[in-house]
């Protein structure tokens, strides 16, 4: 396939590299990042998009996605697929899909989980919104960049799945960290806490697979001085998107709101920026009841 790839940062760079290594003709554009191995440089987003069967975007947010869509949609071939893998608000995802469809294109929103490691290893999970036929045509690309692609329904549903998942993750990580801090103060050693909870009804991905306490459980960013991993500010971004979506549809999400507020405080008023989102544990350790 001919692929245009726009946004070649931490995630997009390795994803584009993997597509090129699998034999696809990839033409890339980024305002700052260098071209990954095997990717031909285009002079603009429109030039990267003009010959492509599929144009993939991996950009910071919805406003930038809308701007890039304004540039690439008029340049794309009829029937080509605009495949956005960024994490953006549901409204922008649906607006860009409508814009693409009105121009005779097909659109998929396909945010990912798996982080930079997953992008490099080609083991991302894609949550996909859009038509059946576009999903089927893009499936071989998902199979190169990831290990799983779930078709979640029409446009915007991929983003909806992503922010619901990360709302659960943010709240669960906070609950896990505060429970460890409480256990410490109650004199319960962390290994015992892990051994019990990881096999009891309090278990979760946050505890079992990504334990926020160092030295127990599987290796995680806690064992690497809380270097991300998944940075606290990216968690904050996703929690803000989930609250934006909840407000738009009048959904009551008190735990999601509390998680957003805590990560906002951690990142913006404390020392959380640049740390893994599981660094909530040392944060709680230092605090008393306020």
Residues serving a catalytic function are 162
Span 100-129, contacts to ligand NAD by CB under 6 A: 112, 115-116
Query: Smallest gap, in angstroms, from Cβ of residue 87 to ligand NAD?
Result: 4
Choosing from 3, 4, 8, 277, the residue that interacts with ligand NAD (CB under 6 A) is: 8
Rounded CA-CA distance 158/156 in Å is: 5
Span 22-51, contacts to ligand NAD by CB under 6 A: 29-33, 45
Contact (Cβ atoms closer than 8 angstroms) between residue 82 and residue 72: yes
Q: Measure CA 66 to chain center.
A: 18
The size of the interface with ligand NAD (CB under 6 A), counted in residues, is 27
Decide: residue 4, CB within 10 A, 0-12 exposed, 13-18 middle, 19+ buried: buried
Query: Does 1 sit near ligand NAD (CB under 6 A)?
Result: no
Whether the CA torsion 159, 126, 260, 273 is positive or negative: it is negative
Span 52-81, contacts to ligand NAD by CB under 6 A: 58-60, 64, 67-68
Of 254, 286, 246, the C-alpha closest to 270 is: 286
Choosing from 3, 6, 26, 100, the residue that interacts with ligand NAD (CB under 6 A) is: 6
Q: Cα–Cα distances in Å, from 125 out to 14, 43, 56, 121, 129?
A: 15, 31, 16, 12, 13
Query: Smallest gap, in angstroms, from Cβ of residue 289 to ligand NAD?
Result: 33
Of 47, 130, 122, 48, the C-alpha closest to 84 is: 130
CB closer to ligand NAD out of 17 and 284: 17
Span 203-262, contacts to ligand NAD by CB under 6 A: 230, 234, 237
Query: Does 86 sit near ligand NAD (CB under 6 A)?
Result: yes
Return residues touching ligand NAD (CB under 6 A).
6-12, 29-33, 45, 58-60, 64, 67-68, 86-87, 112, 115-116, 230, 234, 237
């Amino acid at each position: 396939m001919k692929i245009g790839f726009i946004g070649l940062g931490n995630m997009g760079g390795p994803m584009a590299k993997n597509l090129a290594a699998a034999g696809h003709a990839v033409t890339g554009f980024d305002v700052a990042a260098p071209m990954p191995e095997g990717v031909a440089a285009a002079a603009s987003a429109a030039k990267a998009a003009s010959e492509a069967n599929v144009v993939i975007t991996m950009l910071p947010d919805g406003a930038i996605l809308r701007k890039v869509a304004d540039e690439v949609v008029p340049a794309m071939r009829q029937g080509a697929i605009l495949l956005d893998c960024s994490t953006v608000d549901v409204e922008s995802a649906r607006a860009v899909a409508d814009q693409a469809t009105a121009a005779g294109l097909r659109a998929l929103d396909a945010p990912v989980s798996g982080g930079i490691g997953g992008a490099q290893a080609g083991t991302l999970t894609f949550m996909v919104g859009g038509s059946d036929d576009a999903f089927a045509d893009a499936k071989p690309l998902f199979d190169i960049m990831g290990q799983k692609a779930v078709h979640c329904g029409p446009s915007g549903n991929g983003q909806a799945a992503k922010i619901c998942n990360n709302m659960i993750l943010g709240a669960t990580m906070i609950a896990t960290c505060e429970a460890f801090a409480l256990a410490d103060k109650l004199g319960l050693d962390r290994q015992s806490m892990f051994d019990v909870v990881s096999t009891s009804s309090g278990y979760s991905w946050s505890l079992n697979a990504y334990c926020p306490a160092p030295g127990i459980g599987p290796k995680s960013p806690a064992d690497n001085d809380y270097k991300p991993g998944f940075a606290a500010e990216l968690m904050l971004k996703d929690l803000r998107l989930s609250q934006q979506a909840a407000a738009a549809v009048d959904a009551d999400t008190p735990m999601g709101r509390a998680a957003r507020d805590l990560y906002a405080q951690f990142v913006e008023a404390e020392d959380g920026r640049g740390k893994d989102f599981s660094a909530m544990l040392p944060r709680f350790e230092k605090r008393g009841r306020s």
